[in-house]
Chains A and B, each alone.
Chain A
Amino acid sequence: QVQLQESGPGLVKPSETLSLTCTVSGGSISGFYWSWIRQPPGKGLEWIGYIYYSGSTNYNPSLKSRVIISVDTSKNQFSLRLNSVTAADTAVYYCAREAGSKYYFDYWGQGDLVTVSS
């Protein structure tokens, strides 16, 4: 059974960089697209971007200028960096697996709340 686990600081100061890592267990990171998705408190889901195991990426245009997603296949991990954060970036951040070129998410992490505050 594939499992995803987000990790990273739960509190980030405004204007700084939010960094999260997703560790994949129970399966290989190879051969799949991996996404970051976020959900502000009490609101809906927003797709941030994806990375293919080979390193190619695609980002939500609304966040593209501030986002970098990277992958480390040796550790079965992928990571999110979001710079110049503001309070509007406060959200639960999920990592998820896209189900093998089927364009939906079949496995999700439990989510990690990141609060932007001084």
Chain B
Amino acid sequence: DVKVTQSSRYLVKRTGEKVFLECVQDMDHENMFWYRQDPGLGLRLIYFSYDVKMKEKGDIPEGYSVSREKKERFSLILESASTNQTSMYLCASSLVGIYYGYTFGSGTRLTVV
């Protein structure tokens, strides 16, 4: 069964910590994405990547960075976690061309205290 795996389901971190969220897909997809989901705001795109070592900013990249050293792995980095980054983080992947839709991971619920 093909899937997108996010390393942690729940995470609690302290303000100011550097946080790594990991995402791995086993479908040989070219595209990978990081979204965050907040009540009343829906899914907002943070960063995406078309290829290894390639990255593009989404709508809300501030306070985040990403790394894609291998095709199957896309990491989201919170450089200095803040309480307003408490959220559900969703990773997704897709083939080239949006028509195939995305496959999402189960999400990481991050709480910054």
Q: Do A and B come from one complex?
A: no
A residues with a Cβ closer than 8 A to B are none
